[in-house]
Amino acid sequence: GFRCGIVGLPNVGKSTLFNALTQTAAAQAANYPFCTIEPNVGNVAVPDDRLLALAAVAGSAKIIETQLGFVDIAGLVRGASKGEGLGNQFLGNIREVDAIVHVLRCFEDDDVTHVEGKVDPIADAETIETELMLSDLESLEKRVPNLQKKATQGDKEAKIAASVLAQALDLLREGKPARLTVPKDEDEARAFAQAQLLTAKPVLYVCNVDEAHAAEGNAFSARVFEKAKAEGAEAVVVSAAIEAEIATMAPEERGDFLTELGLSETGLTRVIVAGYKLLQLLTFFTVGPKEARAWTVHVGAKAPQAAGEIHTDFERGFIRAETIAFDDYVTLKGEAGARDAGKLRQEGKEYVVHDGDVMLFRFNV
């Protein structure tokens, strides 16, 4: 599955947020058992109202949400790239995630120590980014000359990697993140992705604000939004303290509580929606009397890849997909109605999956 790594300086609210998100998700999930694989890894059920609608039409006995993984990567401090505070271990954890959720302290509280002495989310973000850039810089300063040497000896793969990673190295030397690298072609793009650079990963800034500003944010979060916009990153406002409170409530109490605070949805939903956008993910569904289930693929995925999410055999033996758009499925009251109205499409190997597609795969075993 897809995984987001939660990073940030100590005492910014990472653990509070991680615990709240995973507890809320556990309570929201209709039928999927919430699981923590390790104490700091949680698979969060992605809330999606469309599943309820589909299950109602099909009379599905069970609803199964798709999941997004969150990893609480604690322990990043100034000097992490030099091994401070178990730095290298944490940087290694970041290498394994698909995206970075960067929690920034945007609340004032004299009782909560700030490791850098004052609340300044932009400076905090830069402190962490600098560590990630230094780590990438150090690794590329070793890797690029090696690749260049191999390239001169006729290694074609090395030549491609050397070219694109030299560009990344130049950016890092200028103090810029590797994600600004522009690969020349698909081969370079692949080599760049394989390098798994920390500063090549997409970033979502989570502004942890005080309870009074949970709805519209505050002056600190406004500055983070400007920064995100300039970088092409995403940002959301969350109050970890409120999320922690919501996590302890019964689902039926939550609506009123959120309304009182002027919020339309939980922080969990906002983080997930932003995470989906950041990772360029979309949801498709499989629906039947047994279950209505949501699945995740990358934007641009073709039908066989979607089939492969369900089972590798489905991908290997893929023949075609019978597809109904979500709106058609609901309006026409299910598969039979959609078929009669000519809204059940037969799609082949090249079909690019749309968000909300209800799919049935035909395959050879």
> Where does this chain bind ligand GDP (CB under 6 A)?
8, 10-16, 74, 107, 109, 112, 208, 210, 239-241
Q: Tell which residue, 209, 228, 201, has the closest CA to residue 17.
A: 209
Q: Token pair of 216, please? A: 């519209």
Query: Least CB distance from residue 273 to ligand GDP, whole Å?
Result: 20
Query: Least CB distance from residue 106 to ligand GDP, whole Å?
Result: 8
Between 74 and 189, CB nearer to ligand GDP: 74
Q: Which positions ≥6 away from 164 have C-beta within 8 Å?
A: 181, 183, 184, 188, 189, 191, 192
Q: Tell which residue, 16, 37, 36, 6, has the closest CA to residue 205.
A: 6
CA atoms within 13 A on the CB side of 271: 32
Query: Least CB distance from residue 61 to ligand GDP, whole Å?
Result: 39
Between 105 and 179, CB nearer to ligand GDP: 105
Q: Token pair of 91, please? A: 């940087």
Query: Least CB distance from residue 262 to ligand GDP, whole Å?
Result: 16
Give dist(CA 125, CA 121) in Å, integer.
Answer: 6
Between 12 and 282, CB nearer to ligand GDP: 12
Give dist(CA 104, CA 205) in Å, integer.
Answer: 7
Between 16 and 130, CB nearer to ligand GDP: 16
SS3 183: coil
Q: Token pair of 317, please? A: 């033996």
On whether the CB atoms of residues 295 and 285 are closer than 8 A, the answer is yes
Is 333 labelled a binding residue? no
Q: Tell which residue, 7, 19, 87, has the closest CA to residue 241.
A: 19
Query: Least CB distance from residue 234 to ligand GDP, whole Å?
Result: 20
- The angle at the Cα of 167, spanning 163 to 168, to the nearest 5 degrees, equals 115
Counting beta carbons within 10 angstroms of the beta carbon of residue 107, is it exposed (0 to 12), middle (13 to 18) or buried (19 or more)? buried
Query: Least CB distance from residue 98 to ligand GDP, whole Å?
Result: 21
On whether the CB atoms of residues 329 and 54 are closer than 8 A, the answer is yes
Between 23 and 66, CB nearer to ligand GDP: 23
Between 112 and 182, CB nearer to ligand GDP: 112
Give dist(CA 282, CA 306) in Å, integer.
Answer: 11
Is 14 labelled a binding residue? yes
Between 55 and 94, CB nearer to ligand GDP: 94
Is 16 labelled a binding residue? yes
Is 12 labelled a binding residue? yes
Beta bridge partners of 207: 104, 237
Query: Least CB distance from residue 236 to ligand GDP, whole Å?
Result: 14
- Binding positions are 11-16
- Binding positions for ATP are 11-16
